[in-house]
Structure 1
Amino acid sequence: MAKAGSWPQSGVVVADGGGTSAVWGECKGSGSKPYLAAAHLDGDGGPAYKCSCPSRKFPCKHVLALLSLWSQDTVAEREDRPEWVTTWLSGRVARQERASGAAAAAPVDPDRAAATLRAREKTVAAGLEELRLWLHDQVDGGLAEVPKLGYGHWDRMAKRLVDAKAGGAASLVTQLPQNGGADRWPDRLLERLGMLHLLTDAYLAGEDGDPRFRAVLRSRVGIPTRSEEVLASGERVRDTWRVLGHRDAITPDRMRGRRQWLHGASTGRLALSLTFAPPTQTPDSAFRPGTEFEGELAFHPDGRRAVRAGQGTEGPALPPPGGGIDQALDSFAEALAEDPWLEAWPVVLENAVPARAEGWHLADPTGASLPLNQGELWRLLAATGGRPTTIAAEWSPGTGLSPMTLWDADGKAVAL
Structure 2
Amino acid sequence: MTEQGVRRTADQVLGLAPDAASRRAGRELGAAGSWSATGRSAEGTVWGVCEGPGGTPYRTLVDLSDASGPAYTCSCPSAKSPCEHALGLLLLRAGGEEAVPRAEVPEWAEQWVMGRRAGTGGRRRTDVPGSPQGSAGPGAARRRAERRAERITAGAEELEQRLADLLRGGLAPAEQAGPGVWEETAARMVDAQAPGLAARVRELAALPGTGPGRPVRLLEECALLHLLARGWLRRDRLPEGLAATVRARVGLPASPDGPPVRDRWLVLAQYDTPDSRLTTRRIWLYGTGSGRTALLLSYGAAGRAPELALPVGLALDAELSAYPGPGQPRAALGDRFAPPAPTSARPPGTTTGPALARYGEALRDDPWLESVPVTLDRVIPAPDEGGASWQLADADGDAALPLSPAARSRPGLWRLVALSGGAPVRVFGECGHQGFTPLAAWPEEPGEVVSLC
Question: TM-score normalised to the size of structure 1?
Answer: 0.69
- Cα distance per residue 1:25-55 (max 9 Å; x no partner): xxxxxxxxxxxxxxxxxxx9xxxxxxxxxxx
Aligned with 2:337: secondary structure?
strand
Q: Give the C-alpha shift of residue 295 in structure 1.
A: 3.0
Amino acid at match of 1:95: P
User: What SS does the corresponding residue of 1:334 show, helix, strand or coil?
Assistant: helix
Correspondence 1:362 to 2:392 = yes
Q: Which residue of 1 aligns with 2:402?
A: 371
Q: Is residue 95 from structure 1 mapped to residue 95 from structure 2 by the alignment?
A: no
On the 8 A contact 1:319/1:411 being kept in 2, the answer is no
SS at match of 2:409: helix
In structure 1, give the amino acid aligned to 2:402.
P
State which of 224, 228, 234 in structure 2 corresponds to 1:205.
Answer: 234
1:93 and 1:250 map into 2 onto residues whose CA distance is: 19
TM-score by length of 2: 0.63
| Corresponding residue number in structure 2 for 1:250 | 274
Per the TM alignment, residue 144 of structure 1 is displaced from its structure 2 partner at its CA by: 2.9
Q: Indicate how the Cα distance of structure 1 residues 117 and 234 shifts in structure 2: closer, same or farther if over 3 A, else same.
A: farther
Decide whether aligned partners of structure 1 residues 284 and 406 sit closer, same or farther in structure 2, where only a CA change above 3 A counts. farther
The verdict on how the C-alpha distance between 1:139 and 1:385 changes in structure 2, with shifts beyond 3 A counting, is same
Tell me the alpha carbon deviations over residues 140-162 of structure 1, each in whole angstroms, 9 at most, x when there is no partner: 12223223223222222111111
The whole-number CA distance in structure 2 between the counterparts of 1:173 and 1:93 is 30
Mapped to 2, the partners of 1:319 and 1:410 lie a distance apart of: 10
2:220 paired with 1:219: no
Q: Structure 2 CA distance, aligned partners of 1:279 and 1:110? A: 36
Q: 1:280 to 1:150 in 2, by over 3 A?
A: closer
Instruction: Deviation per CA, 1:195-249: give whole Å up to 9, x if none.
Output: 0010011111033433332222122112223xxx43xx54433333332212321
SS in 2 for 1:175: helix
Q: Please give the secondary structure, in 1, of the residue aligned with 2:243.
A: helix
Pair 1:290 & 2:320 matched: no
Q: What's the CA shift string for 1:359-391, capped at 9, x where partnerless?
A: 211112213211222123212223433432111
Matched, 1:183 2:189: no
CA apart distance, 1:266:
3.7
Please report the RMSD computed on the Cα atoms of aligned residues, expressed in angstroms: 3.0
Asked whether 1:381 is paired with 2:408, we answer no
The residue aligned with 1:140 is: 168
Shift of 1:353: 1.3
1:178 CA drift (Å):
5.3
Determine what percentage of the aligned residue pairs are the same residue.
35
Q: How many residues align?
A: 318
- Secondary structure, aligned partner of 2:171: coil
Whole-angstrom CA distance in 2 between matches of 1:211 and 1:263: 27
Question: CA offsets per residue over residues 284-328 of structure 1, 9 Å max, x none?
Answer: 335332222333211222343111111233433311101110121
Asked if residue 346 in structure 1 is aligned to residue 377 in structure 2, the reply is no
Of 402, 405, 409, 2:440 maps to: 405
| 3-state SS of paired residue (2:155) | helix
Q: Secondary structure at the match of 1:95?
A: coil
Return the offset for 1:267: 3.4
Matches within 5 A, 1:1-400: 95-96=101-102, 111=138, 113-176=141-204, 179=208, 182-225=211-254, 229-230=255-256, 233-251=257-275, 253-302=276-325, 303-313=328-338, 314-317=340-343, 318-357=345-384, 358=386, 359-365=389-395, 366-372=397-403, 373-376=407-410, 377-398=413-434, 400=435
Is 1:240–1:266's contact at 8 Å kept on the other side of the alignment?
A: yes
The 3 A distance-change label for structure 1 pair 201 and 279 is: same
Displacement of 1:115 = 4.2
What code does the residue aligned with 1:133 have?
Answer: Q
Mean Cα displacement is larger for which, 400-409 or 174-183?
A: 174-183
Q: Does the residue aligned with 1:330 lie in a helix, a strand or coil?
A: helix
SS of 1:145 mapped into structure 2: helix
Q: What is the distance in 1 between the residues matched to 2:368 and 2:104?
A: 37
